Amino acid sequence: MSFKDVLKMPGIPAVLFTQFMVAFGFGIILPILPFYTLSLGAQPFELGLLTSTFALMSLVFSPMFGKLSDRIGRKKVMLMGIGGFFLAYLVFAVSDSLWMAFLARGIEGVAAGAIFPACISLLSDLTTPKQRGPAMGLFAMMFSLGFILGPAVGGIASAVSVQTAFLLAAGLTVLNLISVHLQLTEPKTTVRSTHLAEKEMTLLQHLTSPFLFLFLSAFMITFMIGGIDAVLALYTSARLGFQTHEVGLVFAFIGAMILVMQFVTGGLVNRFGEIKLVTAGLFLSGVGFFFLQFAHDWPTLLLPLAIFVSGNALVFPSVTSMLSKLASVNRGAVMGLAGSFNSLGMVVGPLFAGFLYGLMPTSAFWGMAAVIVAYAVFFALIAVPRLSNPAKAT
């Protein structure tokens, strides 16, 4: 099934537009946030803590919203999340102290905890297993497009004022609310098996469950992204003299690379399978992160970034695809738990990278790379044999 056929399916465009708008709004403030919070008196570690606040709130609320979406419907939970982003951007716009910035990031994290499991579950509900691969590919592409345009627009808007960028993001969430309200119809609920769901969710009692390895991989995806978000703007500003608009261009490049990789990943999945792509992607990400410490101009910055992003772009859709295939029932709860691991990575990654950056800027890059490569080895040796035969492992 082609992307064009998927886009014709009722409800799918509204879900994809929501993903685009979340990424776009998030991208608008991404190049601004480090400089903005530093102007409010934040230190590098506090900047990492600010990033982690977003993830921590998402970690706490993602499984709650996932289960809630199973009970009251995906659309209602999605509308709650979009409304939360609107409120967060308004608080950012009027912030004049560091605690208000933390408040806005916290609200944003709660909103993300609602939107992610609802969107993924909706895609699973509205598609068949055959349609799900292209749908997940489009979902990732929408994130990429938002991530390309958001930072670029944010950098330009901040030239007028920081408040302008935040208010622009708030205005776009209103369009998103209208789109979901008018275009999305709640899908029929699926029959759920409490026994099977319990078996899937009690991971601490089933440490060899395939879900555990996929959740850990979901953690690593955002651990890497969180680390980049926490230190890249600071490092390029100190090492290369970049200003807000140049940092925006760097993040736009990252989004463009993710978009390109979505076209490549689909064919690679069919040829090699998700498990091999996750393994290769983890190693590539570690290598790219390591060489970022040697950046001294645009080429030496963009090349390792391309390697890092290519690796990360292989891991994300592969993990999501495997989760959607294994989660035969109660997808909202399963995706909510996956969102919790995503959020945990966004908590730990920025704190770890920010702490290392405070000790010595370059140590953030080789320290993060060491963790990524270590997990890649663990995944190849421990997880791959079990994921290759999920029925036996479970």
Domains and CATH numbers, the chain: 8-185+193-393 (1.20.1250.20)
pLDDT of res. 6: 65
Predicted confidence (pLDDT) per residue in 69-94, tens digit: 878 888 899 999 999 999 999 998 89
CA 33 to chain centre: 17
Q: What is the pLDDT of residues 32-43, one digit of tens each?
A: 777 777 788 877
Distance CA 294, CA 112 (A): 34
pLDDT digits (tens, 9 = 90+) for 163-182: 888 888 889 889 889 988 88
pLDDT band at 60 (very low <50, low <70, confident <90, very high): confident
* Measured distance CA(17)–CA(173) in Å, rounded: 11
Q: Which of 85, 131, 78, 89 is nearest to 109 (CA)?
A: 85
Q: State the Cα–Cα distance between residues 241 and 258, nearest whole angstrom.
A: 25
138 to each of 112, 126, 296, 307, how far by Cα in Å?
19, 14, 35, 22
196, pLDDT greater than 50: no
* Beta carbons within 8 Å of 226's beta carbon, 6+ residues apart: 51, 52, 55, 345, 346, 347, 348, 349, 350, 353
pLDDT at 330: 58
pTM across the whole model? 0.70
Higher pLDDT: 97 or 284? It is: 284
Mean residue pLDDT across the chain: 80
Percentage of residues of the chain with pLDDT beyond 70: 85
H helix intervals, the chain: 3-7, 12-29, 33-39, 44-72, 74-94, 98-126, 129-160, 162-183, 194-201, 210-240, 244-272, 274-291, 298-326, 331-359, 363-378, 384-387, 390-393
Please name the residue that has the structure tokens 């996929």.
214
Looking at residue 63, what is its pLDDT?
Answer: 78
* Region 262-275 average pLDDT: 78
| SS (HEC) of 184-229 | CCCCCCCCCCHHHHHHHHCHHHCCCCHHHHHHHHHHHHHHHHHHHH
The more confidently predicted of residues 208 and 305 is 305
The whole-number average pLDDT for the span 147-162 is 76
Task: Choose the weakest-confidence range: 118-127, 318-327, 374-383.
Answer: 318-327
